[in-house]
């Protein structure tokens, strides 16, 4: 019996949410969390919201450089990826955005796949640099394994690209669609690491992570006196490792657990207050992404950019 993939993903998603709600009901008072939410400074939330939008804009600039296209479609590509990851489970937004971007802006799936692959490698490299640098001065053993796992993943990913390039280069069966598609993806990856392009992309990557760390610092330093810059670096690493785990939409529950664990065990914050701060921070960072993605999809529908399978077949028959 064939199991519908959408049904399976829905079941996994519901299990994740149910597990979170069960833990929440057994360990935390909802009334306490609501009370603590009211004490979080509104200026901090507004600042985090603004910085989150700024991060998306810098991501858009980097994607524009990677795709060699205008800023607007590049920003839409970024917003769709992040926003759909906030709606779909198991980080399927990165896959869905490739389909939508092709229909909305005519950018080929291979180009978006190549740009996305470069993005992921750059971000993992940046996280590793931050992680290894911070861990030289601050001891927080629980994320050591995560940093080493990311290093191993980066090594495997780069090795995989090199091996795939070698295999494709030694094989000439260009009639196969998979060969043509993979070859175009690898060609795109190679083109992104040339000359001045490399410097521009590296600059944008550094800016992205500098503002990301600043966002974490602004939010939690304004609430907790004991939260310093080193905590912002470490909590950013914790969040990256949490978000990297495929799970519920927007990392629901996993991100909060990472923030609460750090604030409670390292900073010494009460669990209920830590959950309130985690929820507020997560919502402030995710809302621009999700609302932006929904807005782009609505715009695409209103402009008639989407071509559904049956409609396109009918149009072909008319022609």
Question: pLDDT tens digits for 285-297?
Answer: 999 999 999 999 9
d(CA 171, CA 163): 12
**Residue 281's pLDDT is what?**
93
| Residue 292, both tokens | 């932006």
The verdict on residue 312 lying in a domain is no
* Enclosing domain of residue 108: 34-302
The residue ranges of DSSP E strands in 139-277, in sequence order, are: none
Distance of CA 157 to the CA centre of its chain: 17
**Residue 312's pLDDT is what?**
42
d(CA 251, CA 85): 8
The verdict on residue 26 lying in a domain is no
The verdict on residue 8 lying in a domain is no
**Residue 77's pLDDT is what?**
95
pLDDT band of 1, cuts 50, 70, 90: very low
Packing angle, helices 42-67 and 71-85, rounded to 10: 120
Determine the average pLDDT of the residues in 72-101.
87
| Residue 14, both tokens | 């519901």
Q: Backbone phi, then psi, for 226, in 5-degree steps? A: -85, 5
Q: Which residues contact 166 (CB under 8 A, 6 or more apart)?
A: none
**Total number of domains in the chain:** 1
**Residue 298's pLDDT is what?**
93
Number of neighbouring beta carbons within 10 Å of residue 178: 9
The verdict on residue 318 lying in a domain is no
3-state secondary structure of 106: coil
The verdict on residue 122 lying in a domain is yes
pLDDT 10s digits, 175-232: 455 556 556 655 656 665 666 778 889 999 999 999 999 999 999 999 998 899 888 9
Residue 10 has pLDDT above 60, yes or no: no
Packing angle, helices 229-243 and 254-262, rounded to 10: 150
More confident residue, 270 or 58: 58
Return the residue matching tokens 């519908």.
4
The verdict on residue 221 lying in a domain is yes
pLDDT 10s digits, 21-52: 676 666 666 666 677 778 899 999 999 999 99
The verdict on residue 169 lying in a domain is yes
**Residue 72's pLDDT is what?**
95
pLDDT band of 58, cuts 50, 70, 90: very high
The verdict on residue 224 lying in a domain is yes
Whole-model pTM: value is 0.78
């Amino acid at each position: 019996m064939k199991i519908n993939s959408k049904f399976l993903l829905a079941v996994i998603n519901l299990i994740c949410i149910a597990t979170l709600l069960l833990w929440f009901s057994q360990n935390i008072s909802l009334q306490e969390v609501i009370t603590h939410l009211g004490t979080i400074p509104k200026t901090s939330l507004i600042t985090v919201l603004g910085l989150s939008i700024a991060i998306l804009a810098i991501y858009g600039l980097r994607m524009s450089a990677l795709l060699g296209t205008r800023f607007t479609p590049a920003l839409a590509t970024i917003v769709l990826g992040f926003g759909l990851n906030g709606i779909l489970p198991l980080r399927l937004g990165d896959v869905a955005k490739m389909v939508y971007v092709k229909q909305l802006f005519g950018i080929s799936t291979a180009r978006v796949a190549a740009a996305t692959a470069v993005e992921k490698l750059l971000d993992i490299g940046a996280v590793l640099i931050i992680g290894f640098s911070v861990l030289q001065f601050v001891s927080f053993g629980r994320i050591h394994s995560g940093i080493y796992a990311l290093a191993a993943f980066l090594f495997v990913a780069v090795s995989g690209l090199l091996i795939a390039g070698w295999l494709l280069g030694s094989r000439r069966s260009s009639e196969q669609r998979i060969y043509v598609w993979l070859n175009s993806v690898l060609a795109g990856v190679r083109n992104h690491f040339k000359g001045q392009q490399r410097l521009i992309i590296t600059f944008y990557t550094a800016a992205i992570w500098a503002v990301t760390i600043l966002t974490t610092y602004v939010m939690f330093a304004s609430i907790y006196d004991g939260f310093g810059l080193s905590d912002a670096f470490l909590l950013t690493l914790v969040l990256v490792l949490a978000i990297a785990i495929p799970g519920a939409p927007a990392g629901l529950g996993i991100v909060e657990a990472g923030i609460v664990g750090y604030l409670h065990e390292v900073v010494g914050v009460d669990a209920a207050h830590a959950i309130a701060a985690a929820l507020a921070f997560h919502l402030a960072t995710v809302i621009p992404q999700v609302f932006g993605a929904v807005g782009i999809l609505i715009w695409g529908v209103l402009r008639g950019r989407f071509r559904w399978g049956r409609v396109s077949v009918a149009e072909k028959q008319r022609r």
